[in-house]
Every structure is written in C-alpha cells, then in structure tokens.
Structure 1
Amino acid sequence: MKAKSKTIEFALAAATFLAASNSMAETTLERARATGSITIGISTEVPFSFIEAGQPAGADVVVFKHVASKLGIHEVRAVLSEFSSLIPGLQADRFDVIVAGMYVKPNRCTQVLFTTPMHAQGDAVVTLSGNSKGITSYKSIAADPTIKIGYIAGGTGVGANLTASGISPGQISTYQDNLAGVAALKAGRINAYASTSVIVQTLLNKLNDPTVERVRPFEQPLVDGKTVVGFGAFAVRKGDEDLRDALNVELKKYLGTPEHLNAVGPFNLSSDEIVPALAAETDRLCSE
C-alpha cells in the first residue's frame, strides 16, 4: 500500500513539475494568444500614445490593436509610464510591448528588440510667439549660450541631435513629458522646447495657445553630413523574437495601405511620415 502511495505521489509530483516546466517555457506571444490579452507600455507621447477617457489611444496604439487582433489578441491593456521608464519597465515585465513612437536607436537596440519601423520624422522646436531669440536651427542655439532648450527625458533621438549640433549640456534641460516642457517654456525657464515634428504639431493643435509657436523654417540637424530622421517602432523584450516576428508579419501587410492611412490620419500622420519608413530596415538603423 505504501509503495502504491509513493508511486501516486511521484506521479503527481512529476505532473506538477511538467506543468510548471511547460508554463515556464511559454513565450509572451504564446501566453497572449492563449489568453487573448496583452499589456502594452505607453507614455504621454501625443499623437502616438496617450490615455483618453481612461483608455489607451494614439496612432501607434491604433496600429498595435490592429496587428494584435490579427494574431488573435483582442484585449490590449496599457500601463502609463514616463518615457524614460519605458525600457526599464519592459525589462522588469511590467508590460510586454512598448507602444509609444519610440525611435530605433543603436543604444536602445542593445536593450530591446524593435519591430519594423512604422513612421519617420524630423525634429521641430517650439518657442514663445515671436521667437525673440531668432532660433532657426540647433546650430543657432549652440551659437548663443544664453539660449536654454528642453526636451523629453529619455528622448535620445532629440537629445543626441542637440549634442551633435554643439549645444552645451548647460543649455539643455529634460522634462517628464511634453506638456511639462511647454509649461517650462511659458514660465521662462527655457527659451525653446524640442521634440519630433508630428508631436510638436499635434501638441500645438491641441493647446491652441497663441503665446507659443512652432519655429518655421527650421533647419534639420546634420550628423556626419546627413539629415537626421527618426524612425518609430514597437519594442519587445530580448528573447521575445517570436513576438517581434509575428508583429512584423502583420505590420508589413498593413503599413501604407489605405486602411492604415485612414486609421492614423486623425493623429496628424500621413504618407509623408509613413512612406519613408516602409523602405527602412531595423538592422541597419540599429547599426548606424
């Protein structure tokens, strides 16, 4: 009887171990497909990601929901985070995918896996109306050490462009989000605020504030003699190659289609931002 009991106990233990092993081996994609649910990390990066009426919204969120649905994942939950905390949050398993207009950059490629790029854009600068400092480019800021400029913390694309243009660290401040940056501008703590062109235009449209304006014309920064363009993509954890690959399959079917352009049009994205991204390669962007 004891032998039989021991055999049953062993069988139960083996079954428990096997179940645990299978659970441990389950990938993020497999879990998401099995549950029909996935969690994304977003930031207040209008128009790419933000919270509206308690729900995640934005151009990148709309695209993600579409491709996720094609993978059998119909529930998309969101965790709102400061932009600079998105990669640490992904690595800490707080969410499964970064959906926030994040640029594909070599330093980020060492920490996360990026999907195929979805949009491309340059930089833009906001000043108080009248642009009293006469800003026309990042170089014009570098030439006047009294000018102070801000950008979003963790925004390595804009930050790298400021530094590459010769702007000294003492002229640069970072802010937790774009609204905080504009507030600092209006309070006189900085003379200019920089972000990507689509984000700046969307922000100004939303604020409808006559006391601030977009610098036009604005000369795009040059790095190694080339105009700098940022390419935005989704990001997943290292080790989640199957999730990245599955997203890429659906993205390549969707990006640039009339359905896609209609979906992101309300967020101030057009073929001007989409078409250049279609020819971009993530591996090349990660190595530049």
Structure 2
Amino acid sequence: MRGTKLSLFVALVTLTGYLVPIAAQAEDTLAAIRKAGKVTVALASIPPYMIVSPSGEATGASVDLQNMVLKNMGLPALTPVLTDWSAMIPGLQVKQFDYIGAGWNITEAFCKVVLFSAPTYVNPPGLFVSAGNPKKLTSVADIARQPDSKLAVAAGKNTPYEQYALKQGVKPEQIIYVPDIQAGVATVTGGRADAYITGQLGIPHPEQKGLELVHDKGAPLVAGGMVFRKEDVALRDAYNKELNVLVRNGTLLKLYEKYQVSNGDAIVQGISKFTKAADVEPSCE
C-alpha cells in the first residue's frame, strides 16, 4: 500500500494518452470479466493485508475483503498476480490485470492517470521522536528551523510525506530515506535521525520501541484504495457500492480482528468517513 516516483507519472500520462482511445473501443471490462468468469488482480506481499504464497494462493484481510466485494458483485474470487509496484500501473493500462488490489495512495497526481475506489485504508500522520523528545519537536516545520536536525521518511521520491517536508522548508540534505517502518524506528533510536514521519497506525505502542508520538496537525492525511483504468467507471462504481456496505456493516472490522491487524478499529473508523476517492482528493473522479 504505497505510491511510487513522480517521474513515473510523466511516462504514465504519455502512455495513457496512447492507450485510452484504444481501450475506449474495447469491450466493457465488467462485461468482459463476466464473460471470462475470471478477475485478474495485481497484488503485493503486505502481511497481514495480503499474503501471496509461492504457489500463487492469496490470503489476508484485504484479499478476503476484495473477494467478498467481488462475490457480492456476482463475480468469482480474484486471481492474484504478484506484481512489482513499479509495474502495476503500466500493467493495468495494457490490461495485464483487471484492477490493482494492492492499494495505492489517493493523490492528485495519480488521479490524473487512474480511477480509485473508495478508501480501503487511512492512516493519520505521525512524527515519531526519541523518548523524551530531546529536540522538543512539535512539527516537521521545527526540523526545518533546526538545520542540524534529520528527518527519516519512506524511500521513494515524492511520497506525500517527503513533499510535505520539503514544503515545510526541510532541506533535501536533512532527509534520510528508509525502506520500511523497522528501519525508520532504528534510524531514530540509533540517533541517525531526530524524527521519523509515517502513519500513526503503523507503529502501535511506540513507547515500547523507545519512541514518542508527536502530532503534527499540518501533515497530510494518507488514504488509499484499489486502482482502476480511467475508462472502467462502471467497474469502479459497482465495486464501490459493495465495498462501502462491507466497511459500514462491520465486516471489515471482523476481518481485521481475524488477521490481528494493529489498530484495525481506528482504520475502519477513519475510512468510514469517506465513500469515494473525491472525499479524500477533490480532483479525483
């Protein structure tokens, strides 16, 4: 559940410019799925949300949710395609799969290229600092005002958090890129960075890891959903209809409890406020 480099957008928009006119003449994707009796979906390995075995079987809270949505749409269970993040949107555009089920961040830039479902996850931002908050940081802007301070962010240029840090005046040389949450935690506790910005729900019980959570109220809310081709409005809308029911009738919460998703109740409460991608990013269709 992530974004990718903004430089990819230029290539994607160019690619889309050639593909959309062709796709518009093709058979409606929802009708084609019903005819074929198969739903091919791009997934990633993100336990406990998605787990794809070496034999190609997929399980996890998100996989179960998607299969419930598809069943309520009168469609078969998904056929997973384990796909590298950088290949997902290009693969979607050339119809290697019917939609992306890995979950991407809903942003203005991505919405120029694809359609999103209603949010399937939401994660309020958090600034994690060493216990006691030695530099008395209250926001990312405080890091910008202290040139000797360092901020750890998720690897990958132009992620929402990196963009926010740069807008707040943090210099590129103050940013340390980390591959995952564990590395972000270690970077702070090991003294290489003064803070790590990520979703609050990604680090439950931070005090047990020697961290303290600082609420930067100006940081961007990160929410994401399933990804569809621009021309597949009918498929996306039918998906949204069933997804919103499962979010609100307690089904999603039960799945999170089943798979022991940390802060599952907070995630469900957060996404229950939204029924479409435009509720998160107004520029989205």
| Map 1:6-85 → 2, pairs under 5 A | 25-51=26-52, 55-71=57-73, 72-82=75-85, 85=87
Q: Secondary structure at the match of 1:244?
A: helix
**Structure 1's 65 and 142: CA in aligned 2 closer, same or farther, altered over 3 A?**
farther
8 Å CA contact 2:161, 2:198 repeated in 1 = yes
Per-residue deviation, residues 99-126 of structure 1 (Å, max 9, x unmatched): 3342321111101101112333211345
Q: Which residue of 1 aligns with 2:271?
A: 277
Q: 1:36, CA displacement in angstroms?
A: 3.3
Matched, 1:90 2:92: yes
8 Å CA contact 1:261, 1:271 repeated in 2 = yes
**Structure 1's 34 and 196: CA in aligned 2 closer, same or farther, altered over 3 A?**
farther
Q: 1:52, CA displacement in angstroms?
A: 5.9
Question: 2:246 aligned to 231, 254, 257, which one?
Answer: 254
**Structure 1's 80 and 129: CA in aligned 2 closer, same or farther, altered over 3 A?**
farther
Q: Which residue of 2 aligns with 1:147?
A: 149
Per-residue deviation, residues 257-285 of structure 1 (Å, max 9, x unmatched): 12221012321243432234233242343
Per-residue deviation, residues 216-239 of structure 1 (Å, max 9, x unmatched): 2x12341xxxx6422221111111
* Structure 2 counterpart of 1:255, one-letter code: V
CA distance in 1 between partners of 2:216 and 2:164 (Å): 9
Q: 1:41, CA displacement in angstroms?
A: 2.7
**Structure 1's 267 and 286: CA in aligned 2 closer, same or farther, altered over 3 A?**
same
8 Å CA contact 1:103, 1:231 repeated in 2 = yes
CA distance in 2 between partners of 1:57 and 1:284 (Å): 29
Unpaired segments of 5 or more residues in structure 2? 1-21
8 Å CA contact 1:152, 1:195 repeated in 2 = no
Q: Secondary structure at the match of 2:235?
A: helix
Measured on the aligned residues, the alpha-carbon RMSD in Å equals: 3.5
CA distance in 2 between partners of 1:50 and 1:192 (Å): 30
Q: Which residue of 1 aligns with 2:215?
A: 219
* Bigger mean CA offset, 162-171 vs 179-188: 179-188
Q: Which residue of 2 aligns with 1:239?
A: 231
Q: Which residue of 1 aligns with 2:16?
A: none
TM-score computed with the length of structure 2 as normaliser: 0.71
CA distance in 1 between partners of 2:191 and 2:146 (Å): 17
8 Å CA contact 1:126, 1:215 repeated in 2 = yes
**Structure 1's 57 and 163: CA in aligned 2 closer, same or farther, altered over 3 A?**
farther
**Structure 1's 182 and 81: CA in aligned 2 closer, same or farther, altered over 3 A?**
farther
CA distance in 1 between partners of 2:71 and 2:277 (Å): 23
**Structure 1's 284 and 75: CA in aligned 2 closer, same or farther, altered over 3 A?**
closer
Q: Secondary structure at the match of 1:147?
A: coil
| Map 1:113-132 → 2, pairs under 5 A | 113-126=115-128
CA distance in 2 between partners of 1:48 and 1:29 (Å): 25
* Structure 2 counterpart of 1:116, one-letter code: A
Q: Secondary structure at the match of 1:95?
A: coil
CA distance in 2 between partners of 1:284 and 1:237 (Å): 19
Identity between Structure 1 and Structure 2 (%): 25
* Structure 1 counterpart of 2:262, one-letter code: N
User: Which structure features the higher share of helix residues?
Assistant: 1
* Bigger mean CA offset, 37-46 vs 123-132: 123-132
| Map 1:191-210 → 2, pairs under 5 A | 191-201=194-204
Q: Secondary structure at the match of 1:287?
A: coil
Q: Secondary structure at the match of 2:154?
A: strand
Q: Secondary structure at the match of 1:63?
A: helix
8 Å CA contact 2:61, 2:256 repeated in 1 = yes
8 Å CA contact 1:60, 1:101 repeated in 2 = no
8 Å CA contact 1:45, 1:199 repeated in 2 = no
* Structure 1 counterpart of 2:104, one-letter code: M
8 Å CA contact 1:43, 1:80 repeated in 2 = yes
Q: Secondary structure at the match of 2:223?
A: strand
TM-score computed with the length of structure 1 as normaliser: 0.71
**Structure 1's 286 and 257: CA in aligned 2 closer, same or farther, altered over 3 A?**
same
Q: 1:68, CA displacement in angstroms?
A: 1.7
